[in-house]
Amino acid sequence: MSESVLKSLSGPVVLLGAGKMGGAMLEGWLKLGLPADKAVVLDPNLPADAAAALAARGVAVNPALADIPTPSVLLLAVKPQVAPDALPPLAPLVGAGTLVVSIMAGRTLAFMSAIFGAGTAIVRSIPNTPAAIGRGVSVCVPGPNVSAAQRDLTTALLGAIGIVEWIDDEALMDAATAVSGSGPAYAFLLAEVMAQAGAAAGLPPELAARIARATVSGAGALMDQSELPAATLRQNVTSPGGTTAAALGVLMNDTAGFGPLMVEAVAAAARRGKELAG
């Protein structure tokens, strides 16, 4: 499905920003069958060697805007703070059939509609960093002008870097960002503090770091491959009265444990998302 959708586009896919996330998406699209001559990259900060490598594959890199045909997709993968300057020059590119997809944190549908026009089909999405290895999560909300076909196209584009989930209420985007967008940092922190705790218990620090990292990544892989709920997987590790139960007695404390802390952390991230959106 994704391959056929990308191969059938009438206009190019224009990517604004080819950093880690944008670059991962571009590679995913090309692997899924997007013809290289249907890909356009706009990124003045792209290193010369990377630009030359893309050009050698047939991708148009930083052409004059006047030379770009009306795109089927304009994907915005720049930092949100540069959006007020970077987006307006692209407005003339957007045609009646162009789908605009943004992966900029905090930039609302209203913000983009003000730039590209109230009738533009716009999808706002937030992927997370595991997208760099094709294991990302992208949460999307469609604007009012997005058709069913354009929603499928968005799923195909973002499906190249992981799974795609849809919400219908943009107000939920801050909470989704706090869970999935910021979530990898929580998992990395878990490995970090487990290593510190292991060292405090007497393990050599380098050994503690290695086994904590492998444990967190292995548990994630097990959860990914299992159909069981996370709670059941946790219970399967926990023998009554055993060592895991002793540790979970601390971590699952009703007032000072991991659960209340995570609720507080996600709420703080969601609040900050609202502040960044203005």
In this predicted structure, the answer to whether residue 167 has a pLDDT above a threshold of 60 is yes
Locate tokens 């503090």: which residue? 193
How large a percentage of the chain has pLDDT more than 90?
89
pLDDT one-digit tens code per residue, 15-60? 999 998 999 999 999 998 899 999 999 999 999 999 999 999 999 9
Q: Which of 54, 37, 39, 43 is nearest to 17 (CA)?
A: 43
At residue 41's C-alpha, the angle toward residues 81 and 93, to 5°, is 80
- CB count, 10 Å around CB of 133? 10
3-state secondary structure of 68: coil
Locate tokens 């997809």: which residue? 101
Query: Which residues does 267 contact at the CB level (< 8 Å), separation at least 6?
Result: 178
In this predicted structure, the answer to whether residue 277 has a pLDDT above a threshold of 80 is no
Q: Please give the DSSP secondary-structure letter assigned to residue 202.
A: T
| Dihedral sign computed on CA atoms, order 62, 68, 73, 76 | positive
pLDDT one-digit tens code per residue, 195-249? 999 999 999 999 999 999 999 999 999 999 999 999 999 999 999 999 999 999 9
Name the pLDDT band for 1 (thresholds 50, 70, 90): low
Q: Which of 125, 39, 130 is nearest to 77 (CA)?
A: 125
Please tell me the predicted confidence (pLDDT) of residue 278.
65
CA dihedral 36→39→40→44, nearest 10 degrees, is -70
Q: Distance of CA 3 to CAs 39, 206, 234, Å? A: 15, 44, 38
Q: Please give the DSSP secondary-structure letter assigned to residue 167.
A: -
CA–centroid distance for 183 within its chain: 11
Q: Which of 132, 210, 196, 160 is nearest to 31 (CA)?
A: 160
Locate tokens 């030379």: which residue? 67
Name the pLDDT band for 274 (thresholds 50, 70, 90): confident
Q: Which of 98, 52, 56, 46 is nearest to 77 (CA)?
A: 46
* Residue at 213: amino acid letter: R
Cα–Cα distance, 106 to 34 (Å, whole number): 29
pLDDT one-digit tens code per residue, 55-96? 999 999 999 999 999 999 999 999 999 999 999 999 999 999
Please tell me the predicted confidence (pLDDT) of residue 6.
82
Locate tokens 């802390």: which residue? 261
In this predicted structure, the answer to whether residue 273 has a pLDDT above a threshold of 70 is yes
pLDDT one-digit tens code per residue, 145-159? 999 999 999 999 999
Q: What are phi and psi of 19, to 5 degrees?
A: -75, -150
Please tell me the predicted confidence (pLDDT) of residue 246.
96
Locate tokens 């218990």: which residue? 201
Contact at 8 Å (CB) between 143 and 115? no
CA–centroid distance for 215 within its chain: 24
Please tell me the predicted confidence (pLDDT) of residue 3.
62
Looking at 59-154, which runs of residues are DSSP E strands? 60-61, 73-76, 99-102, 121-126, 136-142
Name the pLDDT band for 2 (thresholds 50, 70, 90): low
pLDDT one-digit tens code per residue, 95-146? 999 999 999 988 999 999 999 999 999 999 999 999 988 899 999 999 999 9
Please tell me the predicted confidence (pLDDT) of residue 7.
79
Average pLDDT over the chain, rounded to whole? Answer: 94
Please tell me the predicted confidence (pLDDT) of residue 216.
97
| Model pTM score | 0.89
